[in-house]
A and B are shown apart, each in its own frame.
Chain A
Amino acid sequence: MRKSSGMRVERCKGSRDLLPQDMARFRRLEAVFRDCCLSRGYEEIRTPVLEYLHLFTTAGTLTPDMLGRVYSFLDWDGWSGERVVLRPDGTIPTARLYVDNLAEQDLAKLFYVENVFSFEETGQETRERWQCGAELIGGTRPVADVELISLAMEVLSKLGIEAVEIRLSHAGVIKALLSALELSSQERSEILNQVLEGNVGALAQIKPQAPEAQRALSLFFDLAGRSSAFMKNLKSLSGAALPGLGPGLDDFIGIAQMLDSLGYSYQADLASGRDFEYYTGLIFQLFVGGAKVGGGGRYDDLIPLVGGRSIPASGFALYAHQLMDLLGTEDLPARRRILVKAESGGAQELRSCFDIAGRLREARCVAELDLGGRREADFRWVLSVRAEAAPLLLSDRVAGERFEIASAAEVLKILDERCN
């Protein structure tokens, strides 16, 4: 019989391994996010990785292009043709979860740390992404929108991520603009498709008949504002040339005023709106050093679209895969690490090793048994277990000292003295 050649199996294209260093960063991000959410009264949920495709087609909030990149397949009982998908998004399943389980609640403050899947053809980018998401179902606007921005900013601040740029847009204003422009149906659907694929700037390309409308449009899309005054200026100008914008602009102004008073700086840029179809009101995006690290907004139509009652909702997600790369490992909380080894390897010594290591762990030390493959030099503290009168020998390799001691309690005492 020929021997197996030990064929190398490669990682799936477009996927990423998270190594110990990555996981340390991931867990830190997750811990800060969970802590911030829990302290504001949000509750953690986890939705299944598999959902029916029709959840996402029914919601009508993903574009055909996005739906064309969903990982979908027939399950083993899928002879009816009902496809299941690896969830491409965290918000729509949360809306489904709410309608399924929590529909009687007038306010649901939910958060999750979940992976989402979407095909990316080059395989250069990861097709599985992790998100830290928070969804606020119910609640009054615009304070709910501001609460979400402040939650997202608190998480980033606690992670030590500075210079976060907030970009605001407003789907209600964009939609009102579209209907105020009196486009031909062909024009309208072409523009809408471009906008839906993420190019809200396409709106600025429209050349409306009326010169006032054209000038107004350019003021809406060519400029960005830095305070609520910008929106107020737009509102005073839009009245005649672009009717119907009032309610959207009022909402936008309300949010901006609150952000102004809380001291957040932001850029109000209507052309920055992404995933426009999803949202009904505020759209916000967070950037660090030019990279988008998160975003969200208001989607008041979503819960009714997936079969629930009419209830407002908004939410956001932070992109863990982007944020992890911004986090250092040096500031991860260090725990005292000790290598525990049996001097001669006798059965009695080994039993003592297990016993003492257990006690050290109870005191929140990282106690590793010597399994070979670790260098003593990698540890400050090495504890040798011996069959002698003083059965424990503790070495402090930093100070170059040795202590002959009798019990785990003494080990901890020395560690406390030396480490503080």
Chain B
Amino acid sequence: MQLKLALPKGRLLDKTAALLETAGMGFAGYHEGSRSYRLRGDRFPHLQAKVFHEKDIPVQVAVGNYDLGICGLDWIEELTVRYPQSDLVKVQDLEYGNGDLYMAASKASGISSAQELGTRQGSWRLASEYPNLAEAFALKLRLSRFVVFPVWGAAEVYPPESADLALISQPAADRLSDYGLVPLAPILSTRAFLIANRNSWEAKDMAEVLDLLCHCRMDVGRAESQPASAADVPRPPAPEEMAEDAVWLALPDGHQQAPTIRLLSGSGLKIQGYSPLSADRRPTVDLAGVRVKVIRPQDMPLQVANGNFDLAITGRDWLMDHLCRFPSSPVKEVLDLEFARVKVVAVVSKELPVDDVSGLRELVRDGRGLRVASEYVNIADKYARDNHLSPYKVIPTWGASEAFLPEDADLLIENTETGRTLAQHNLKIIDTLFESSSCLISTASSLEHPAKRGRISSIIDMVRSPAALSL
């Protein structure tokens, strides 16, 4: 009997690989830097594993695509707090990957306890990678008015200017003060968990694998060490940064960071502390009245729409995704920065007898639903709708999307530079939706703001200079 196991990338990978190795269930391709997603062990030929972003694992197990999975309790709770009926069984605490989730506020806000939130007037803005847990927290505290900003990452840098509260995951509470935050309430202590699909648990004999995993967990757990503190301590917000009419610029982390650094150095904008080696999400710029934060490019359009930032360097793909969701959003592209060029494409498995979107349309006419996986949930939804691919479901993913085809999705909306990675995963492009590159985004209200527009246009001019764009 086939048994399917969902394994995490990222922070739990090393420990999980060690656990599997100790249990005699090691998978050759399961290590940091590996490009293979589909794994098969020698000792258990009936055991298949696939590697996912940790956040995708509870969903994949709950919907029954996988019998077993390993992921953090935080992502399990993030799913079940919203969908308590999810078909998930928490099988075993694996005792590694410890961390804590806190609701935290900026020190500058003067708030020191969760109870104070309920007594203050006004609307609270909560930023988090865990929007469902954040909402449950707000409801439980009976906050009279609140909004939740779901973010892809870097929630800790949002308070106090871009959010009042952040629900963040930290190895230790004292790290919070490095960000200028105070913990208001512990939300959850997270650890790696072995989870099972409820139906598999009820009906499938998984005892052999469970025995091995559960007996080895102690050893791996004991080897837990505290993560080394970052060499470069992040800088908490200084009081003067709270100035009312500061111009806020958002710069990207991740893949777009290196080309952005090149662009900025060519433009003559001197930014200190903006480097992939730095944990500092608040670099400084040598322009008076301009403040910078480093956040995820995915989150920038929403943040600019809300006036938390006046300018941001992001990708057109994320701008489009935002506009598909919120067509009347005030965010617009003000300058094409022409780097990080990718195509956003529709992708299927090479095995699928389909060469274009009309072929795909034919294929779904038999009424079996199409599963569309994408990080660009709103672009994918619009693409499927506009192309009459009904009935379809969009499966949100958090990275490593190409691993979803063909077992766990039929169509993928993904970006690609050369198409080589897609081909390596036995996938083919059947349509190109649009070309994306980095761009500078803003809103009319920022561009026309009487106190800010001078500084904003000088930043745009510097970035627009041929010296910057040729780099």
- Chain A residues with CB under 8 Å of chain B are 1-2, 4-5, 7, 54, 57-58, 60, 64, 67-68, 74, 76-83, 121
- When distances are taken between beta carbons in the complex, the residues of chain B under 8 Å from A78 are 326
- When distances are taken between beta carbons in the complex, the residues of chain A under 8 Å from B138 are 57
- When distances are taken between beta carbons in the complex, the residues of chain A under 8 Å from B327 are 76
The answer to whether A2 and B366 touch (CB under 8 A), given A57-B145, A79-B329, is yes
Question: What class of interface size applies to chain B in its complex with A?
Answer: 20 to 34
Q: Residue on A with the closest CB to B307? A: A80
**Segment of B52-60, B67-75, B146-154, B261-269 engaged in the interface with chain A:** B146-154
CB distance from B34 to the nearest CB of A (A): 37
- When distances are taken between beta carbons in the complex, the residues of chain B under 8 Å from A121 are 84-85
CB distance from B9 to the nearest CB of A (A): 29
- When distances are taken between beta carbons in the complex, the residues of chain B under 8 Å from A4 are 365
Q: Is the CB of A77 within 8 A of B306?
A: no
In the A-B complex, the 4 residue pairs with the smallest Cβ-Cβ separation, listed nearest first, are: A81-B147, A7-B367, A79-B305, A64-B139
Cross-chain contact of B322 among A64, A79, A82 (Cβ < 8 A): A79
Docked CA distance A82–B124 (Å): 11
Find the residue from B125, B302, B327, B367 having the highest chain A CB count within 10 A. B367
CB distance from B119 to the nearest CB of A (A): 12
Q: Residue on B with the closest CB to A65? A: B139
- When distances are taken between beta carbons in the complex, the residues of chain B under 8 Å from A1 are 362
Q: Is the CB of A57 within 8 A of B142?
A: yes
Docked CA distance A83–B146 (Å): 9
Starting from the known contacts A57-B139, A79-B322, A121-B84, 18 additional A-B residue pairs (CB-CB under 8 Å) come to: A5-B366, A7-B367, A54-B144, A57-B144, A57-B145, A58-B145, A60-B144, A64-B140, A68-B139, A74-B325, A76-B328, A78-B326, A79-B302, A79-B325, A79-B329, A80-B147, A83-B147, A121-B85
Q: Cβ of B123 < 8 Å from any Cβ of A? A: yes
Docked CA distance A67–B136 (Å): 9
Q: Cβ of B143 < 8 Å from any Cβ of A? A: yes
Q: Residue on B with the closest CB to A305? A: B144
Docked CA distance A96–B40 (Å): 60
Q: Is the CB of A76 within 8 A of B366?
A: no
CB distance from A10 to the nearest CB of B (A): 11
The answer to whether A60 and B142 touch (CB under 8 A), given A77-B326, A80-B147, is yes
Chain B window 65-93, contacts with chain A (Cβ cutoff 8 Å), 1 for yes, 0 for no: 00000000000000000001100000000
Docked CA distance A83–B365 (Å): 35
Docked CA distance A274–B366 (Å): 50
A–B pairs, 29, beta carbons within 8 Å:
A1-B362, A7-B367, A7-B391, A54-B123, A54-B145, A54-B146, A57-B139, A57-B142, A57-B143, A57-B144, A58-B144, A58-B145, A60-B142, A60-B144, A64-B139, A64-B140, A68-B136, A68-B139, A76-B325, A76-B327, A76-B328, A77-B328, A79-B306, A79-B329, A80-B305, A80-B306, A81-B147, A81-B306, A83-B147
Docked CA distance A7–B366 (Å): 8
Docked CA distance A1–B84 (Å): 43
- When distances are taken between beta carbons in the complex, the residues of chain B under 8 Å from A74 are 325-326
- When distances are taken between beta carbons in the complex, the residues of chain A under 8 Å from B325 are 74, 76, 79
Q: Residue on A with the closest CB to B143? A: A57
Docked CA distance A76–B323 (Å): 10
Docked CA distance A74–B391 (Å): 23
Q: Residue on B with the closest CB to A70? A: B139
The answer to whether A57 and B146 touch (CB under 8 A), given A7-B367, A76-B327, A121-B84, is yes
Q: Is the CB of A81 within 8 A of B148?
A: yes
Cross-chain contact of A2 among B144, B305, B362, B391 (Cβ < 8 A): B362
Docked CA distance A124–B24 (Å): 46
- When distances are taken between beta carbons in the complex, the residues of chain B under 8 Å from A77 are 326, 328-329
Docked CA distance A80–B163 (Å): 12
Q: Residue on A with the closest CB to B390? A: A7
Q: Is the CB of A64 within 8 A of B148?
A: no
CB distance from A55 to the nearest CB of B (A): 10
- When distances are taken between beta carbons in the complex, the residues of chain B under 8 Å from A67 are 139
Docked CA distance A80–B329 (Å): 10
Q: Residue on A with the closest CB to B83? A: A121
Docked CA distance A149–B85 (Å): 39
Q: Is the CB of A5 within 8 A of B367?
A: yes
Find the residue from B84, B147, B305, B325 having the highest chain A CB count within 10 A. B147
Q: Residue on A with the closest CB to B85? A: A121
Find the residue from B136, B138, B146 having the highest chain A CB count within 10 A. B146
- When distances are taken between beta carbons in the complex, the residues of chain B under 8 Å from A68 are 136, 139
CB distance from B384 to the nearest CB of A (A): 16
Q: Is the CB of A76 within 8 A of B326?
A: yes
- When distances are taken between beta carbons in the complex, the residues of chain A under 8 Å from B144 are 54, 57-58, 60
- When distances are taken between beta carbons in the complex, the residues of chain B under 8 Å from A80 are 147, 305-306
Chain B window 173-186, contacts with chain A (Cβ cutoff 8 Å), 1 for yes, 0 for no: 00000000000000
